[in-house]
Amino acid sequence: MTLMLRRLRLYPGTAVARSILPVLFSCFAALLSVVAILRIEYSSRILFFSFVATLAARYAIETLHIRAKGVLYYVVPGGRAAVVHKLANTPTIPMTSPSISGLPGCAIIADLHADLAPEWERLLAEAAIAGKPVYHYKQVWEAQTGKVQIDHLSENSFGALVPSLAYQKIKRAVDLLVCALALPFALPVMCVCAALIKKDSAGPVFFRQRRVGFRGKVFQVVKFRTMTVTHDGGDRDCSVTQTDDHRITKVGRFLRSTRLDELPQICNILRGEMSWIGPRPEAVSLSSWYELEIPFYRYRHIVRPGISGWAQVNQGHVSSLDEIDDKLQYDFYYIKNLSYWLDILIAARTVRVVLTGFGAK
């Protein structure tokens, strides 16, 4: 658990304290599964008190970590490095002279792709030799915001645009395994949801919509219907759900807040059209619009879309143009940093989303 939380701390825009409970719960659930399979005797009282004590200890450690003083960042002038001054949680000081003397316990931020003056280039070399951390401004920006600026394509840590193919195959196998484990529990819940939808309003139980998915292929996403039946003709404005949208039914509002409306997408996962975790697939009308506005928007389709994703756990559903721009920055961050650690973090935070209804419209 400690290793997992340490790794999750590396990912931005997330308070690790919010991940403690779901991560600890997952660890104890895995432990109980092993105990049950091996039929090992155990005391439920000791297990309960161990859970509570561990939870309290982890929150205490996290509180001390939050109160601890962070690293002070000195920013080299030139290029686009000044953008880091906008980060609220990052203490930054602009450098006025190219000297590292008198700068103990600090890190240096610079635009390493800019054409810096020779004296600033020498400063960066001296800082690196002296063992001081030197960061490209984009590293700090992405690490603090959890977003990737979308003014151009951004390579991953291996210097490539294509995410790890090996991990994508492992991820696909895990998707199928989770489907097999989840179906026995999901089917009864889906039957109840279907009955409630049918009783609540006229129309079909399921909502189907053409969306753009993996490698740009169009597929039909399947969800529980949460709105009254309308004929939008593929209009992009009707494809965006507004806050307190009048089309949402009473049962639909509950299904959306608990994310139970997403359960039928298990079928999409089994067909290989979606994953449990990934960027949300967009309607064809919206996707076509984004492609006109952002030349490299189609890069978003390099991974399978998901039921939950980095944008969903950080931002929730979106409706305005500014929110959509932020959503794309979250999506590109996920693609750039695709890894099992990031997927674990998203899965843990999805539990919070389901329990609190965060981001539902």
Pick from 156, 100, 116, 112: which is nearest to 136 by CA? 112
Mean pLDDT value across residues 62-78 = 71
Residue 355 is predicted with a pLDDT of 74
Pick from 253, 264, 228: which is nearest to 317 by CA? 253
Residue 281 is predicted with a pLDDT of 92
106-140 pLDDT, tens digit each? 788 999 888 999 999 998 998 888 888 888 888 88
Residue 18 is predicted with a pLDDT of 58
Looking at per-residue confidence, does 4 or 263 come out higher?
263
Residue 361 is predicted with a pLDDT of 55
DSSP string, 249-295: -HHHHHHHHHTGGGGGGHHHHHTTS-EEESPPPEEHHHHHHHHHH-T
pLDDT band at 277 (very low <50, low <70, confident <90, very high): very high
Q: Is the pLDDT of residue 20 over 90?
A: no
Residue 92 is predicted with a pLDDT of 87
Pick from 220, 253, 259, 215: which is nearest to 347 by CA? 259
Residue 68 is predicted with a pLDDT of 53
Cβ-contact 197, 246 below 8 angstroms: no
Mean pLDDT value across residues 345-354 = 82
Q: Is the pLDDT of residue 14 over 50?
A: no
189-231 pLDDT, tens digit each? 999 999 999 998 888 999 999 999 998 899 999 999 998 876 5
What number of other Cβ atoms are within 10 A of residue 296's Cβ?
14
Residue 307 is predicted with a pLDDT of 93
- In angstroms and rounded to an integer, the radius of gyration of the C-alpha atoms of the chain is 23
- Out of 22-26, 269-273, 327-331, which region has the weakest mean confidence (pLDDT)? 22-26
Question: What DSSP element (H or E) covers 72?
Answer: strand 72-75
Gap between the Cα atoms of 103 and 173, Å rounded: 49
Residue 13 is predicted with a pLDDT of 44
Sign of CA dihedral 201, 204, 210, 212: positive
Cβ-contact 349, 146 below 8 angstroms: no
Cβ-contact 186, 193 below 8 angstroms: no
Mean pLDDT value across residues 264-277 = 95
Mean pLDDT value across residues 293-299 = 79
User: Quick one: how far is CA 56 from the chain centroid?
Assistant: 26
pTM for this structure? 0.70
Residue 214 is predicted with a pLDDT of 92
* Percentage of the chain lying above the pLDDT 70 cut: 79
Mean pLDDT value across residues 53-81 = 75
- Out of 241-245, 253-257, 266-270, which region has the weakest mean confidence (pLDDT)? 241-245
136-158 pLDDT, tens digit each? 888 888 878 888 876 666 655 54
Specify whether the backbone of 275 is left (phi greater than 0), alpha (psi in -120 to 50) or beta: beta
Residue 262 is predicted with a pLDDT of 93
